Amino acid sequence: MTGAFDDLLAANEKYASTFSHGDLTGRATRGLAVVTCMDSRIDPLGLLGLHAGDAKILRNAGARVTDDVLRTLVLAVYLLGVDRVLVMPHTDCRMSKSTDDEVHRLIAAEHGIDTRSLEFQTVRDQEETLQHDITRIMTSPFLPRTLTVGGALYDVHTGRLRLVEPPRP
Ligand SMILES: [Zn+2]
């Protein structure tokens, strides 16, 4: 284990030496939760002009609204000050380039691992999936009807965000 994280520990040493966020609480001061992809090109705080303490950032493969995302949003809304949610998938997402079956086959062929018991929730049509995922939040029996829910597609090549019309109620 020694070595693999040395670069990170060294960077943290530097970070902690000028740390100034010690007084923040776990409440999102901008009332915002962002659901986005794990893609390493996305800097959610930077691209939205946010800072530590401002927002809850929920990330997974494809920015999907999974049961775990709903569980987290319920806690974020009722305990941690969130009153608006932005679901933010992105262009050039690996999750929109294969079906679940193709991913299973690829991993089996290249690594000999059977992943078929996992649901990857790959995306066929990004806009359609975004509408579906927003609807999941808007109609969740555990979330308040007063919650503001929006969707936007982030362009990893231009850094621009394009708001997507929400589904009709
Ligand atoms: Zn992605």
Summarize pLDDT for 143-158 with one digit per residue, the tens.
Answer: 999 999 999 999 999 9
Please name which of 147, 139, 128 lies closest in space to residue 64, comparing C-alpha atoms. Answer: 128
124-146 confidence digits (pLDDT tens)? 999 999 999 999 999 999 999 99
Q: Which residues are annotated as a binding site for Zn(2+)?
A: 37, 39, 90, 93
Beta pairing partners, 151: 87, 164
Ligand 1 centre from 62 Cα, in Å? 5
The reported pLDDT for the residue numbered 141 is 98
Ligand 1 centre from 20 Cα, in Å? 32
Ligand 1 centre from 16 Cα, in Å? 30
Give the separation between CA 53 and CA 26, rounded to whole angstroms.
7
Q: Which domain holds residue 79?
A: 30-164
Which whole number is the average pLDDT over 8-31?
Answer: 97
Residues 6+ apart with CB under 8 A from 95: 37, 61, 62, 64, 120, 121, 122, 123
The reported pLDDT for the residue numbered 41 is 98
Give the separation between CA 155 and CA 153, rounded to whole angstroms.
6
36-87 confidence digits (pLDDT tens)? 999 999 999 999 999 999 999 999 999 999 999 999 999 999 999 999 999 9
Give one DSSP letter per residue of 108-119, joined into a string: HHHH----TTS-
Residue 2: pLDDT band (50, 70, 90) is: confident
Ligand 1 centre from 38 Cα, in Å? 6
The reported pLDDT for the residue numbered 67 is 98
Ligand 1 centre from 26 Cα, in Å? 27
pLDDT at 169 over 70: no
Which whole number is the average pLDDT over 90-104?
Answer: 98
**Domain count for the chain:** 1
Does residue 107 fall inside a structural domain?
yes
Does residue 153 fall inside a structural domain?
yes
Ligand 1 centre from 42 Cα, in Å? 9
Neighbours of ion ligand 1 (CB under 5 A): 37, 39, 93
Ligand 1 centre from 86 Cα, in Å? 15
Q: What is the pTM of this model?
A: 0.95
Residue 112: pLDDT band (50, 70, 90) is: very high
CATH number at residue 119: 3.40.1050.10
Q: Which residues are annotated as a binding site?
A: 37, 39, 90, 93
Ligand 1 centre from 61 Cα, in Å? 6
Residue 107: pLDDT band (50, 70, 90) is: very high
Does residue 2 fall inside a structural domain?
no
